[in-house]
């Protein structure tokens, strides 16, 4: 058996793993990222041109993480002459407490205002509103594909490495560190491991004590605009009696306006994902009713996975020499540089802890074992 000794291993080369490895290189470490698929694959949750940079949170732990992420995106600078954040703004409306969200944003100096529906409709004629609207100019989209490439470039420039098409069969731990079985006769030994393997996290970590992680295939779609109206990113907390779920979306240059229901997809095996569009009729009906500026017959479905905890909270914690980032529940991408910072803290500082809502529950002793 050939064993290669490296510094720190990050399992999973999506945005969370790459952001963590980048943060580790910034602190003088030389991480090795191993990813089961080839560069540019579409089997996980990080592919595609854009992701919503949505700041409409009221919870302190998410707002703290958002600010850390915002600083990270800025520090990555421009890629191909453009920042990785396109701050065209965000509108949030529907069945939620807009005032509470605005208070949280104001406390952190993040600009926002509440607009009456008539004013919002005049400003964004491609959308319809039936109540007040929260507007924040400091939001928009992350250029997702460009971000992945830039993070990899930074990792390599900082002395790290990204190994594509390198699946991990097993992760073990002994007194000297962690050992990763790569199949065949190849192993990696390292001081510590960070697991950010998305839909495959539960399989790799087994009895780690993770909460339930449900993998679903989600199929939003891009719709063609009818005219040249400007488009913000958006959240619509719809009436549960008349809609399958909250709706989110954003403009994607060259593809249209992305619109999707949040977390309504079928549960799937990530190794046998059907890539089958669901809820497309309901999505077209939503667009027909609420988005007069889009052609409801023009949908081009896209597919991604959610790996979700029951309450939608992230898992950011460590046990022994293994650090885990999991359960990003369809709203994690925007936070990636902040999450990478938290996971790097957990690797390098034995006293570091994530915010309480992100921590793992204490493990219970097995029956008959010592207390």
Rg for the chain, CA atoms, rounded = 21
Fold classified for 90-138+214-308: D-Amino Acid Oxidase; Chain A, domain 2 (3.30.9)
Residue from 318, 342, 353, 358 nearest 208 by CA: 318
Task: Please state the domain extents for the chain.
Answer: 1-86+141-211+311-360, 90-138+214-308
What are the C-alpha distances in Å from 31 to residues 13, 19, 24, 180, 350?
Answer: 12, 11, 7, 14, 18
**pLDDT band at 205; cut points 50, 70, 90:** very high
What is the per-residue pLDDT across 65-97, written as a single tens digit (0 to 9) for each?
999 999 999 999 999 999 999 999 999 999 999
The answer, yes or no, to whether residue 1 has pLDDT greater than 90, is no
Mark residue 54 as left, alpha or beta (left: phi above 0; alpha: psi -120 to 50; beta: remaining): beta
The answer, yes or no, to whether residue 166 has pLDDT greater than 80, is yes
Q: At how many degrees (to 10) do helices 60-75 and 98-107 cross?
A: 50
Strand extents, DSSP E, 153-302: 161-163, 170-174, 177-181, 186-190, 192-195, 214-218, 221-223, 233-237, 247-252, 256-261, 266-267, 300-301
Q: What is residue 76's predicted lDDT score, i.e. its pLDDT?
A: 97
- C-alpha span between 218 and 261 (Å, rounded): 8
**pLDDT band at 361; cut points 50, 70, 90:** confident
Mark residue 173 as left, alpha or beta (left: phi above 0; alpha: psi -120 to 50; beta: remaining): beta
Share of the chain above pLDDT 70, in %: 98
Q: What is residue 368's predicted lDDT score, i.e. its pLDDT?
A: 42
What is the per-residue pLDDT across 95-117, written as a single tens digit (0 to 9) for each?
999 999 999 999 999 999 999 99
Token pair for 22:
């980048």
**pLDDT band at 369; cut points 50, 70, 90:** very low
Q: Mean per-residue pLDDT for 157-167?
A: 98
Token pair for 197:
């393997």
**pLDDT band at 185; cut points 50, 70, 90:** confident
Give the SS3 label for residue 344: helix
CATH number of 1-86+141-211+311-360: 3.50.50.60
Query: Rounded to two decimals, what is the model's pTM?
Result: 0.95
Q: Mean per-residue pLDDT for 359-364?
A: 78
Q: What is residue 363's predicted lDDT score, i.e. its pLDDT?
A: 61
What is the per-residue pLDDT across 284-335, written as a single tens digit (0 to 9) for each?
999 999 999 999 999 999 999 999 999 999 999 999 999 999 999 999 999 9
């Amino acid at each position: 058996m050939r064993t290669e000794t490296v510094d720190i291993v990050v399992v999973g080369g999506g945005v969370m793993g790459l952001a963590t490895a980048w943060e580790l290189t910034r602190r003088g470490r030389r991480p090795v990222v191993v990813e089961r698929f080839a560069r540019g694959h579409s089997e996980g949750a990080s592919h595609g041109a854009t992701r919503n940079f949505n700041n409409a949170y009221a919870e302190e732990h998410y707002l703290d993480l958002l600010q850390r992420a915002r600083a990270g995106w800025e520090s990555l600078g421009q890629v191909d002459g453009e920042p990785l954040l396109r701050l065209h703004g965000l509108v949030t409306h529907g069945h939620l407490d807009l005032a509470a969200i605005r208070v949280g944003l104001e406390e952190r100096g993040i600009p926002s205002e509440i607009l009456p529906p008539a004013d919002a409709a005049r400003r964004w004629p491609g959308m319809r509103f039936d109540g007040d609207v929260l507007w924040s100019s400091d939001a928009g989209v992350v250029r997702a594909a460009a971000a992945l490439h830039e993070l990899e470039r930074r990792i390599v420039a900082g002395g790290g490495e990204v190994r594509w098409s390198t699946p991990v069969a097993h992760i073990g731990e002994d007194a000297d560190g962690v050992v990763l079985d790569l199949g065949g006769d190849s192993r990696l030994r390292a001081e510590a491991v960070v697991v950010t393997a998305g839909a495959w996290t539960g399989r790799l970590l087994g009895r780690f004590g993770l909460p339930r992680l449900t993998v679903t295939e989600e199929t939003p779609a891009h719709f063609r605009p009818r005219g040249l109206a400007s488009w913000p990113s958006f959240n619509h907390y719809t009436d549960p009696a008349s809609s399958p779920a909250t709706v989110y979306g954003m403009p994607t240059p060259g593809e249209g306006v992305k619109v999707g229901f949040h977390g309504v997809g079928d549960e799937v095996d990530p190794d046998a994902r059907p890539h089958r569009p669901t809820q497309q009729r309901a999505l077209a009906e939503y667009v027909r009713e609420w988005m007069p500026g889009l052609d409801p017959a023009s949908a081009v479905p896209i597919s991604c996975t959610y790996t979700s905890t029951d309450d939608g909270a992230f898992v950011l914690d460590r046990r022994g020499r293994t650090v885990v980032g999991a359960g990003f529940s369809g709203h994690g991408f925007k936070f990636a540089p902040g999450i990478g910072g938290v996971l790097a803290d957990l690797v390098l500082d034995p006293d570091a802890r994530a915010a309480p809502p992100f921590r793992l529950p204490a493990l219970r002793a097995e029956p008959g074992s010592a207390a």
